[in-house]
């Protein structure tokens, strides 16, 4: 523990008048923070997060930074934001569920890998995907029999991205991973890159670990030009909006916590209030602070005719505050989900003017799958195919790691529910409807069941979107 500064104990006692005003100011509000402070005082959250953690390493003569790679941003603070904003959390959960939550197309993949995981393969991939969406990186530990490079895979486990560090060993870009132990870097737990265990134990960084327990890590990283080694999530631009939402909510919380009235300053003028009277004022004011204590009346009897009480409000009141809060929250919420590239309907945000659009959700899902989820799935599938897919002990086929898509899930739902024909199709001209073989007296009817596959579902949805947007 550090020794306190000598200046901290040298505090000059204020005069009676200054002490009185300071006490009134303290009584006028109750301070309770809704969110933990992720940034130091006087610094914005984005600025604090962009201050990366790690060690400074001078470049070697070969032009390569050898040692622990500095992270491009603070993983720990960034991951905590999931508990600070509901829209940010919803976006992460929506992308996680859509990317890996629907499982693999090949059902045998789950059966084969479940027995290697602590809970299940889906549970492990959901954990990795959450890190991938939160901090742009995810890690899968691969344990082999006898901890040997040629041993068969006996365990697949999640490793938190916030704990893993990348270490560059030499100018040839040989690297390994470390997780800090309680003893510091000297006692760090080391992991080899996938399929690099033999080579790592032959290099200076891993020679002392030969024959000891050692696992490999598979690194899933969101590609970015910001870092050569780490992934960087694209939603970081929303941090300023997340911080502003916190400020707005804290403002509203403080308003209701402090008797539901604007902040004020209380002046007692004309004489010095006796300590006994001041204690009574303090007790009366504190009795009205907090939930369940608002809208109370306060009566006081000041017998000194020279005393004047003046109350100065420090903030405006009225409906304008509520309207401003609602408009700001709506704008900031859309900004946050836009940074995530998640369509507002999927994030639970209803945009005025589009709430009655029958095809809004379907359009959003198709766009979401094509522009966002498809890329993430391809990244996961490629990484797994180039690592676990090459392991002889697992003997996985080439397409074993292909994930199911939202479109396929919708296709199965259509087959199970036999959905009702759309109102868009009912707006067709009579000759066109008759030419398609439609009985004009049937009205709205259920579509005949068909063998839904990915291409059939896409064609059906495209026809629905086209007809629903037809100006006729």
Q: What is the pLDDT of residue 56?
A: 47
Q: What is the pLDDT of residue 210?
A: 67
Q: What is the pLDDT of residue 467?
A: 44
Q: What is the pLDDT of residue 35?
A: 64
* pLDDT by residue, tens only, the chain of 472 residues: 333 333 333 333 444 444 444 344 444 455 556 566 666 665 667 667 766 554 444 544 555 678 899 999 999 999 999 999 999 999 999 999 999 999 999 999 999 999 999 999 999 999 999 999 999 999 999 999 988 888 999 999 999 999 999 999 988 889 999 987 655 555 688 999 999 998 998 898 888 776 678 899 999 999 999 898 999 999 999 998 999 998 888 878 877 776 666 567 777 887 787 788 788 888 877 777 665 666 677 777 777 777 788 777 766 555 456 788 888 888 999 999 999 999 888 887 776 665 555 566 777 888 899 889 999 999 999 999 999 999 999 999 989 999 999 888 877 776 666 555 554 555 556 666 666 666 656 554 545 555 556 666 666 656 555 544 444 3
DSSP conformation letters of 72-107: SS-HHHHHHGGGT-HHHHHHHHHHHHHHTTT-BSSH
Q: What is the pLDDT of residue 355?
A: 53
Distance of alpha carbon 169 from alpha carbon 178, whole angstroms: 12
Distance of alpha carbon 58 from alpha carbon 309, whole angstroms: 65
Using H for helix, E for strand and C for coil, what is the string for 394-461? CCCCCCCCCECCHHHHHHHHHHHHCCECCHHHHCCCHHHHHHCCCCCCCCCCECCCCCCCHHHHHHHH
Q: Which residue has the tokens 């409906």?
A: 319
Q: What is the pLDDT of residue 426?
A: 53
Q: Which is nearest to 192 in space by CA: 211, 167, 220, 162?
A: 167
Query: Would you give the distance in Å from CA 296 to the centre of its chain?
Result: 41
Three-state DSSP at 299 gives coil
CA 444, 445, 451 angle in degrees (round to 5)?
140
Would the pTM count as exceeding 0.85?
no
């Amino acid at each position: 523990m550090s020794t306190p500064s000598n200046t901290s104990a040298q505090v000059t006692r204020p005069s009676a008048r200054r002490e009185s005003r300071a006490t009134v100011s303290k009584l006028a509000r109750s301070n309770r923070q809704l969110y933990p402070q992720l940034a130091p005082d006087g610094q914005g959250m984005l600025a604090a997060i962009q201050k990366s953690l790690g060690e400074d390493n001078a470049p070697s003569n070969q032009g390569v930074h050898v040692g622990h790679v500095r992270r491009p941003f603070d993983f720990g603070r960034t991951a905590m934001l999931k508990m600070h904003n509901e829209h940010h959390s919803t976006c992460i959960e929506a992308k996680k569920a859509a990317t890996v939550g629907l499982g693999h197309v090949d059902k045998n993949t789950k059966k084969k890998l479940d027995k290697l995981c602590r809970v299940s393969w889906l549970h492990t991939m959901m954990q990795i995907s959450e890190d991938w969406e939160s901090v742009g990186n995810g890690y899968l530990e691969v344990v082999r029999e006898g901890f040997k490079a040629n041993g068969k895979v006996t365990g697949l486990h999640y490793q938190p991205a916030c704990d893993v560090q990348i270490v560059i060993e030499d100018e040839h870009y040989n690297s390994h991973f470390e997780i800090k132990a309680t003893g510091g870097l000297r006692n760090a737990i080391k992991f080899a890159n996938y399929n690099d265990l033999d080579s790592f134990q032959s290099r200076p960084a891993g020679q002392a670990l030969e024959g000891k327990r050692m696992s490999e890590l598979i690194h899933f990283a969101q590609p970015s030009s910001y870092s050569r080694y780490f992934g960087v999530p694209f939603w970081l631009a929303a941090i300023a909006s997340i911080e502003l939402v916190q400020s707005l909510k804290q403002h509203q919380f403080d308003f209701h916590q402090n008797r539901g009235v604007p902040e004020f300053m209380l002046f007692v003028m004309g004489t010095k209030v006796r300590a006994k009277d001041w204690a009574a004022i303090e007790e009366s004011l504190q009795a009205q602070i907090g939930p369940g204590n608002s809208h109370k009346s306060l009566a006081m009897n000041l017998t000194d005719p020279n005393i004047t009480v003046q109350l100065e409000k420090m903030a405006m009141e009225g409906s304008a505050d509520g309207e401003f809060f609602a408009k700001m929250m709506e704008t900031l919420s859309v900004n946050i989900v836009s940074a995530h590239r998640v369509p507002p309907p999927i994030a639970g945000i209803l945009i005025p003017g589009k709430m009655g659009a029958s095809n809004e959700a379907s359009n959003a899902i198709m766009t979401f799958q094509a522009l966002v989820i498809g890329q993430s799935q391809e990244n996961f599938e490629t990484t797994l195919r180039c690592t676990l897919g090459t392991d002889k002990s697992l003997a996985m086929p080439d397409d074993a790691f292909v994930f199911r898509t939202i479109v396929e899930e919708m296709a199965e739902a259509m087959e199970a529910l036999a959905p009702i024909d759309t109102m868009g199709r009912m707006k067709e001209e009579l000759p066109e409807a008759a030419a398609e073989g439609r009985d004009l007296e049937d009205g709205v009817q259920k579509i005949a069941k068909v063998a839904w596959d990915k291409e059939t579902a896409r064609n059906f949805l495209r026809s629905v979107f086209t007809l629903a947007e037809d100006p006729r």
